[in-house]
Amino acid sequence: MNKIFHLSSDEVAEVSKHPSHAWDLYPATKIDLWEIPQLQTDKNNLWDVEFIPCYTSQYFCVLVRIDQTGLESKDRAYQNGGGFVFQLAQPRTDNELTDVFTVFGASPLEKREELQWTRLFVYYKDIDLAFTKVEDGEVVIETDDNYTYMLVMAPWHYAEPLGPFLTKKIGFTIIVPQPIEAEYPCQYYSLIPGWKTMAEQELRDYVVYELEEPEPPSSGLEIEFSLGSKHYRQGVPGVVRLAVNSSYTDGIDVTIGLGEKDLAAKNFDLSEGLNTFSVEFDTGLLDTGRTQLQLNLSTSEGAYSHQLELLIIDDERISKIREKVSRLSQEGSDDMMRRESLVTLEWLLESLYSELDSLKPHQEPQQIENLITRLDEGLRRVESGESLFIKGERLRLGLRSKQDSTLQPYSLYIPPTFEEGKSGLIVLLHGSATDDERTLEKAEPLEKYDKTRMIIVAPLARGESHYYLPDEAIQEIVEITEKMMEMFSVPKKKVVLVGFSMGGFGVLNTFFHRPDLYHNLVLLSGSMKAYEEMEVVKDFTTEESLRQLAKTNLIIFHGSEDLNVRYEELKPVHERLKELNPDIEIHIAEGVGHRQPPEWQEKMIEIFERIDRYA
The average pLDDT across 579-588 equals 97
Centre a 10 Å sphere on the Cβ of residue 343 and count the other Cβ atoms it contains. 17
Burial class (CB in 10 A: 0-12, 13-18, 19+), 181: exposed
Domain boundaries defined on the chain: 2-211, 221-311, 314-388, 409-614
User: Is residue 231's pLDDT more than 60?
Assistant: yes
Straight-line distance from the first to the last Cα atom of the chain, in angstroms, rounded to the nearest whole number: 67
530-574 pLDDT, tens per residue?
Answer: 877 667 889 999 999 999 999 999 999 999 999 889 999 999 999
What is the mean pLDDT of the segment spanning 370-399? 97
CA angle 532, 533, 538 (to 5 degrees): 25
Q: Which backbone phi and psi does 24 adopt, to 5 degrees?
A: -85, -20
pLDDT at 40 over 70: yes
Task: Determine the 3-state secondary structure of 480 from DSSP.
Answer: helix
* Single-letter residue type at 347: W
The span from the CA of 369 to the CA of 367, in Å, is: 5
Residue 65 has pLDDT above 80, yes or no: yes
* C-alpha span between 58 and 235 (Å, rounded): 34
pLDDT band at 266 (very low <50, low <70, confident <90, very high): very high
Burial class (CB in 10 A: 0-12, 13-18, 19+), 571: middle
Q: What is the pLDDT of residue 533?
A: 65
Mean pLDDT of 296-301: 96
Looking at residue 464, what is its pLDDT?
A: 55
Residue 304 phi, psi dihedral angles, 5° rounding: -135, 140
This prediction's pTM: 0.90
Q: Which of 293, 311, 446 is closest to 370 using CA atoms?
A: 311
Alpha carbons 472 and 470: distance in angstroms, whole number: 5
Cα distances (angstroms) measured from residue 33 to each of 43, 46, 70, 150, 178: 9, 8, 21, 19, 10
Domain topology for 409-614: Rossmann fold (3.40.50)
Indicate if the alpha-carbon torsion angle 411, 415, 418, 423 is positive or negative.
negative
Query: 340 pLDDT exceeds 70?
Result: yes
| Identical fold, 2-211 and 221-311 | yes
Q: What would the DSSP string read from start to end of 508-542?
A: HHHHHH-TTT--EEEEES--SEEEETTEEEEE--S
Number of residues that make up the chain:
615
Percent of the chain with pLDDT over 90: 86
Average pLDDT over residues 109-134: 92
Q: How many CB atoms lie within 10 A of CB 237?
A: 11
Sign (positive or negative) of CA dihedral 258, 260, 261, 267: positive
Distance of alpha carbon 68 from alpha carbon 49, whole angstroms: 9
Distance CA 196, CA 168 (A): 24
Closest CA to 540 of 564, 507, 492: 507
**pLDDT of the residue at 608:** 95
Q: Average of pLDDT values for 214-230?
A: 95
Q: Which of 88, 22, 101, 20 is nearest to 60 (CA)?
A: 88
Strands (E) in 443-601, as ranges, are 455-459, 495-500, 520-524, 529-532, 535-539, 553-559, 585-589
Cα–Cα distances (Å) from 85 to 21, 64, 189, 504, in that order, read 22, 11, 11, 26
- CA gap 528, 556 in Å, rounded: 11
Average pLDDT value for the chain: 94
- Chain center to CA of 33: 27
* pLDDT, position 251: 97
In the predicted structure, residue 200 carries a pLDDT above the cut 80: no
From the list 157, 568, 513, 60, the residue with the least C-alpha distance to 362 is 157
Task: Indicate whether 583 pLDDT > 90.
Answer: yes
User: Is the confidence at residue 97, as pLDDT, over 60?
Assistant: yes
DSSP state of 97: -
Q: Contact at 8 Å (CB) between 583 and 555?
A: no
Query: Class for domain 2-211, per CATH?
Result: mainly beta
Q: Which amino acid is at 298?
A: S
* CATH code at 221-311: 2.60.40.2550
Residue 11 has pLDDT above 80, yes or no: yes
Q: What is the arithmetic mean of pLDDT over 23-38?
A: 94
Cα(434)–Cα(465) distance, integer angstroms:
9
CA distances from 484 to 365, 393, 480, 521 (A): 33, 16, 6, 18
Q: Mapping DSSP to helix (H, G, I), strand (E, B) and coil, where does residue 333 land?
A: coil
Q: Tell me, what's the pLDDT at 573?
A: 96
pLDDT value of residue 570 = 95
pLDDT above 70 coverage of the chain, percent: 99
Does position 467 have pLDDT exceeding 70, yes or no? no
pLDDT at 443: 82
pLDDT, position 463:
66
With both helix axes pointing from N to C terminus, report the angle between 336-358 and 471-488 in degrees, rounded to the nearest 10: 140
- CA nearest 217: which of 243, 241, 248? 248
What 8-state DSSP symbol labels residue 172? E
Return d(Cα 109, Cα 164) in angstroms, integer.
Answer: 27
Least confident range from 1-15, 82-96, 222-236, 460-474: namely: 460-474
Strands 186-190 and 33-34: antiparallel
Residue 519 identity (one-letter amino acid):
H
The neighbouring-strand residues paired with 245 are 222, 274
Mean pLDDT for the stretch of residues 124-151: 94
